[in-house]
Amino acid sequence: MDLSDVFSNAADQDKGRMLEILDPWAGEKTGMRFWMAGPDSDTQRRARIAMMDELAEAADDRGRVSAEAREKARLNMLARCVLRWEIEEDGKSIAMTHKAIVRVLSAVAWIQAQADDFAGDRANFRPEA
């Protein structure tokens, strides 16, 4: 592997990989799918920078940021890593907007955990053969 392979993989991670959301109790597929940008992608880099800006804006005059503001910034960052999705509510597809992604991630902890774990695991973003 040389540096061009590393750069190529980082660029490839911006295409995303599919995460099949699993039922946390039975481990079965739910039919919900997220395409997540990888940890070395430009998408995740920009999401981290946006999170830092959000945290700086939320800081009080002593530089403190509330736990609520930190959690909001973290969820916004994770939502920015979702490139597309297949998800339904009441039998209808939900349009993918930042607000809709944040709503799902903040309302359902086990979906959030799966998305966070997947997006941070480089093994999910191995170079494609």
pLDDT digits (tens, 9 = 90+) for 46-75: 999 999 999 999 999 999 999 999 999 999
**79, pLDDT greater than 80:** yes
Q: Per the structure, how many domains does the chain have?
A: 1
Task: Give the residue from 98, 102, 101, 122 showing the smallest Cα distance to 41.
Answer: 122
**pLDDT score at 128:** 74
**82, pLDDT greater than 70:** yes
> How many Å apart are CA 93 and CA 109, to the nearest integer?
21
Task: Give the residue from 43, 63, 66, 39 showing the smallest Cα distance to 126.
Answer: 39
**Domain membership flag for residue 9:** yes
**Domain membership flag for residue 26:** no
Q: Give the mean model confidence (pLDDT) for residues 12-16.
A: 92
**Domain membership flag for residue 71:** yes
**Domain membership flag for residue 91:** yes
**13, pLDDT greater than 70:** yes
**pLDDT score at 129:** 65
Q: Label residue 74 exposed, middle or buried (CB < 10 Å: 0-12, 13-18, 19+).
A: middle
**Domain membership flag for residue 24:** no
**Domain membership flag for residue 78:** yes
**Domain membership flag for residue 27:** no
What does R_g of the chain's alpha carbons equal in angstroms?
A: 16
Residue located via tokens 């039975």: 26
**Domain membership flag for residue 44:** yes
**pLDDT score at 4:** 87
What domain range includes position 47?
Answer: 3-19+32-124
pTM for the model stands at 0.92
